[in-house]
Amino acid sequence: MIDYSQFEQWVRDNVKVWQPCNIYPSASIGRNVSIGTFTEIGNNVVIGNNVRIGAMCFIPEGVVIEDDAWIGPRCTFTNDRFPPSPMEGWEPTIVKRGACLGAAVTVVCGVTIGEGALVGAGSVITKDVPAGQVWAGVPAIPIKEGKDEYSKTS
């Protein structure tokens, strides 16, 4: 599972990986990243700096998570909208800088979750979430705009 040759770099970059985890060696992990127990990060996944990945997340090939994003425990990403497709049919997913996904969110592939967006716990994301918006539900829809209310309650 773990490519132990990564350990030296992870220590240098302040990456914490709680074991057991399954991180493919071709995944790119930024600095100051924390990755929870029982998480799988697939081939060629890109994780930015200062990202927090919760426990039990599934992040397959095709997913990019930018700097400062926060991914709650048990989030599930996908790369195949109509499985099983050949790899050419897979679709990328991007979580932009500072976006925040609550616990147990499922993300159908091919979408972008905008900068600073928030997704409520247990939601299923099936389309793009614009920057700064708050979405929740199955499928998720906007529940309020902006972060003012968020700022007041957090």
Residues at the site binding its own copies, with contacts judged by CB under 8 A: 1, 18-20, 22, 36-38, 40, 52, 54-56, 58, 60, 70, 72-74, 76, 78, 81-85, 89, 100, 102-104, 106, 108, 118, 120-124, 126, 137-139, 150, 153-154
Minimum CB–partner distance for residue 147 and its own copies (Å): 10
Residue whose CB is less far from its own copies, 72 or 114:
72
Minimum CB–partner distance for residue 123 and its own copies (Å): 8
Report the alpha-carbon distance of residue 74 to residue 153 in Å, rounded. 24
Answer for the pair 31, 11: CB distance below 8 angstroms, yes or no.
no
Q: What's phi and psi for 77, nearest 5 deg?
A: -100, 165
Minimum CB–partner distance for residue 63 and its own copies (Å): 12
Residue whose CB is less far from its own copies, 13 or 91:
91
Tokens standing for residue 42: 């697939």
Minimum CB–partner distance for residue 32 and its own copies (Å): 13
Give the containing element (helix H, strand E) for 151: helix 148-153
Answer for the pair 83, 65: CB distance below 8 angstroms, yes or no.
no
Residue whose CB is less far from its own copies, 12 or 82:
82
Nearest 10 degrees: Cα torsion 87, 88, 91, 95: 70
